[in-house]
A = this chain, B = another copy of it.
Amino acid sequence: MSEPIGVAMLGYAFMGKAHSRALQALQHLDVPVRPELVSISGRTKEAVEEAAGEWGWGEAVTDWREQVADDRVQLFDNGGPNSIHAEPCIEAARNGKHVLCEKPLGLSAEESHRMWQEAEQAGVVHMCGFNYRFVPAVRLVRELLDAGELGDVVHFRARYLQSWGWDADESAWRFDPSQAGTGALGDLGTHIVDLARYLVGEISMVSASVRTLVPGRKVDDHFVAMVEFENGVAGTLEASRLARGRINSNSFEINGTKGSAVFDVERLNELEVADAKGFRRVLVTEEEHPYMRFWWPPGHIVGWGDTFVHELAHMLEAIAGEHEVAPHGATFEDGYRCDEVVEAMLRSAESGRREEVRSR
């Protein structure tokens, strides 16, 4: 039986549910430390108590300060709205808790940078919740790249398209700039910026157009961007909450000197891989494929929720010293660097010029 590790969770909505279930599943999977669900927190007492009961958390609290001071807690998992990422994570780190924080990391690159610095200084393990790195097919792309199977990257394009923005409830926190920061850019764009950085490298320059179409909406609906990477690769990034017919289509294509790979999260178990002869469809469910040790015989597909199992397993392994969070997981540094790209996009949209990606 592996050692237990106490976990505290902030947030009980979409991400709270995804993380809680993954933690539950990990109690019965082969990981070096076994999560114990100490407490979950949220602003509304009733709701957080219901969540605690539903997902098996030991306690429901309304003040995250209790959690970050709790001796039983070694891992603080922050799945709350973007505006309450920084302070609780920093406090947790200062108290020696390992920290996992949902994306986007902070409300600004400055805030994200501070979170990273604090976590580093505290010497804790830190991770930013870019869960698409933990889709087996995405990890496989990185492995193919590392093994040289696709050659050097030449060209990258990614788009994350949804359509729910047409009929959304405007009172949700995701449409409030003070809680969410940006709209499609922070919610969807950060995912593809992170994948671009994971698969290709640092982005050096962006030229972007960021737009809000729905009347009265205070955050952006969609954006387009052309980017250049430090290694000379050219690319495009786009995201939209207004792409009719698209539900959750997070897709990319990467062209290398030897081969290509094409992915869409709506078919997350599949990867189209090309060599000089053309494309082959890989069902990423073979025993040797990433994370498949947790699951089923070949051809029995995993779901979106399972990516959180992989992500949290990776965090637990990192805590146990089996490997670093990087490069396969995103650290707070990755969360910060992603935000610098986002800010360069915003500057570009404002200035009408290309903008260099800054580094503090």
A38 at the binding interface (Cβ < 8 Å): no
For chain A, the count of residues having a C-beta within 8 Å of the partner chain is: 91
A297 touches B244 (CB 8 A): no
Return the chain B residue nearest A267 by Cβ: B267
Query: A84 to nearest B CB, angstroms?
Result: 21
A208 touches B224 (CB 8 A): no
Return the chain B residue nearest A55 by Cβ: B28
Return the chain B residue nearest A282 by Cβ: B278
B304 touches A301 (CB 8 A): yes
B275 touches A244 (CB 8 A): yes
- Mark each residue of chain A from 20 to 38: 1 if its CB lies under 8 Å from any CB of chain B, else 0: 1100110111100000000
B256 touches A299 (CB 8 A): no
A222 touches B159 (CB 8 A): no
A147 at the binding interface (Cβ < 8 Å): no
B299 touches A247 (CB 8 A): yes
- Which of the listed residues A21, A166, A280, A282 has the most CB atoms from chain B within 10 Å of its own CB? A280
With A224-B234, A280-B279: A301-B244 Cβ-Cβ less than 8 Å: no
B249 touches A299 (CB 8 A): yes
CA distance A242 to B156 in the complex (A): 12
Main SS of the interface on chain A? mixed
A245 touches B300 (CB 8 A): no
CA distance A208 to B54 in the complex (A): 50
Query: A132 to nearest B CB, angstroms?
Result: 12
B305 touches A295 (CB 8 A): yes
CA distance A208 to B354 in the complex (A): 10
With A14-B297, A295-B305: A283-B247 Cβ-Cβ less than 8 Å: yes
Contacts of A236 in B (CB 8 A): 157, 224, 226, 236, 238
One of A65-73, A74-82, A258-266 at the interface: A258-266
Tell me which of B155, B224, B234, B253 contacts A155 (CB under 8 A): B224
- Mark each residue of chain A from 149 to 192: 1 if its CB lies under 8 Å from any CB of chain B, else 0: 01100110101011110100000000000000000000000000
- Mark each residue of chain A from 268 to 297: 1 if its CB lies under 8 Å from any CB of chain B, else 0: 110010111111111101000000000111
A213 at the binding interface (Cβ < 8 Å): yes
B283 touches A280 (CB 8 A): no
A222 touches B303 (CB 8 A): no
Given contact pairs A24-B28, A278-B281, a sample of 15 additional A-B residue pairs in the complex whose CB atoms are under 8 Å apart: A154-B240, A154-B243, A155-B224, A209-B226, A226-B226, A246-B274, A248-B285, A248-B297, A248-B298, A268-B301, A301-B303, A302-B305, A303-B303, A303-B306, A354-B354
Residues of A within 8 A of B (CB): 1, 14, 18, 20-21, 24-25, 27-30, 53-56, 150-151, 154-155, 157, 159, 161-164, 166, 205, 207-209, 211, 213, 222-226, 228, 232, 234-236, 238, 240, 242-249, 253, 255-260, 265-269, 272, 274-283, 285, 295-306, 352-354
| Nearest 8 CB-CB pairings of A with B | A245-B274, A248-B299, A303-B303, A247-B299, A207-B207, A300-B304, A226-B226, A302-B303
